[in-house]
Amino acid sequence: MTDDVKVRRTTRKTSVSDSVTSPAVKPRTRTVKATTAQMTFDLFADIAADLTCGVDEVGRGPLAGPVVTAAVILDPSRPIKGLADSKKLTALRREALYEEIVERSLAFCIAEASVAEIDSLNILHATMLAMQRAVNGLSRVPALALIDGNRCPVLPMRAEAVIKGDDKVPAISAASILAKVTRDRQLAALHEEFPQYGFDEHVGYGTPRHLEALRTHGPSPHHRQSFAPVREAFEIFGALTVSRVVRTS
């Protein structure tokens, strides 16, 4: 894996009648008095006539690896059962849902910000950058972007932050699953190159085993130098102790 930005996107083939949208149409707004569950359902149903994407990220807290984001436009005519916050699903269930989302969504895009970008910009701004890449990489332009959390990146369309959106909005749940599965796969691949850190176990988070490995082996090229435990390891070892592996294929 390199520090180059990786973006994956797709769209499902549709007929002319269901692929034409009007960018000039102003998104509808209304006041809803209902329970949280009802509000979530009504919000999703109300905007289904327009193109709406859900956006989420995975990997803000780890000490290593990129931050990965995804944007998803679900197809109301092809519902996906079992969508939920990716952290509440088993790895096996996430993998199964990943395939369904890829197959059934109208469009999706997976993007990231590299370790170098995280160290240069800080993790918040790198996350916003990765979200911008995911939304802008969609093959269909949404009228509204629903962002998990309490902050929105600068986007060319209307954006709304939804706290705990990965539990409330199906499109955000789908985005969280794509991002989680993608990043977990990346860290599993890193484990093959750097087994001494245990990336397959903690996917980069600062567990006791990971911190001990940093103290023993020093940082790898995939560790975030701007994060305190990694910075401390750099101060002890003075430089990278493991060379980057350059892939030729």
Q: Residues 127-154: pLDDT tens digits?
A: 999 999 999 999 999 999 999 999 999 9
DSSP 8-state assignment for residue 106: S
Pairing of strands 144-148, 52-58: parallel
Q: How many CB atoms lie within 10 A of CB 193?
A: 16
DSSP 8-state assignment for residue 139: S
DSSP 8-state assignment for residue 24: T
- Per residue in 164-197, pLDDT tens? 999 999 999 999 999 999 999 999 999 999 999 9
In the prediction, which pLDDT does 114 show? Answer: 96
Give the residue, 19 or 93, on which the prediction is more confident.
Answer: 93
Pairing of strands 107-113, 67-73: antiparallel
Using CB atoms within 10 Å of the CB of residue 3, give its burial: 0 to 12 exposed, 13 to 18 middle, 19+ buried: middle
In the prediction, which pLDDT does 238 show? Answer: 72
Residues with Cβ < 8 Å from 70, sequence gap 6 or more? 55, 56, 108, 109, 110, 111, 134, 174, 175, 176, 178, 179, 182
Torsion of CA 139, 145, 150, 154, to 10 degrees: 70
Split at pLDDT 50, 70, 90, the class of 240 is low
- How far is residue 129 from each of residues 68, 92, 102, 112, 161, measured CA to CA in Å? 10, 30, 23, 8, 16
In degrees rounded to 5, what are phi and psi of residue 3? Answer: -85, 0
Pull the structure tokens for residue 57. Answer: 């990220």
In the prediction, which pLDDT does 79 show? Answer: 94
E strand residue ranges, 84-157: 107-113, 144-148
**CB of 145 within 8 A of CB of 161?**
no
Pull the structure tokens for residue 225. Answer: 């130098």
Share of the chain above pLDDT 90, in %: 73
Pairing of strands 144-148, 158-162: parallel
pLDDT over 80 (residue 23): no
In the prediction, which pLDDT does 8 show? Answer: 54
Instruction: State CA 127 to chain mean position distance.
Output: 9
Pull the structure tokens for residue 38. Answer: 């009802």
Is 18 annotated among the ligand-binding residues? no
One-letter amino acid identity for 189?
A
CATH 3.30.420.10 residue ranges of the chain are 52-190
Average pLDDT over residues 60-75: 97
- How far is residue 21 from each of residues 17, 176, 226, 241, measured CA to CA in Å? 9, 26, 43, 53
Q: How many CB atoms lie within 10 A of CB 226?
A: 15
In the prediction, which pLDDT does 9 show? Answer: 52
Is 200 annotated among the ligand-binding residues? no
Q: Which fold has domain 52-190?
A: Nucleotidyltransferase; domain 5 (3.30.420)
Is 56 annotated among the ligand-binding residues? yes
Indicate whether this model's pTM tops 0.85: no
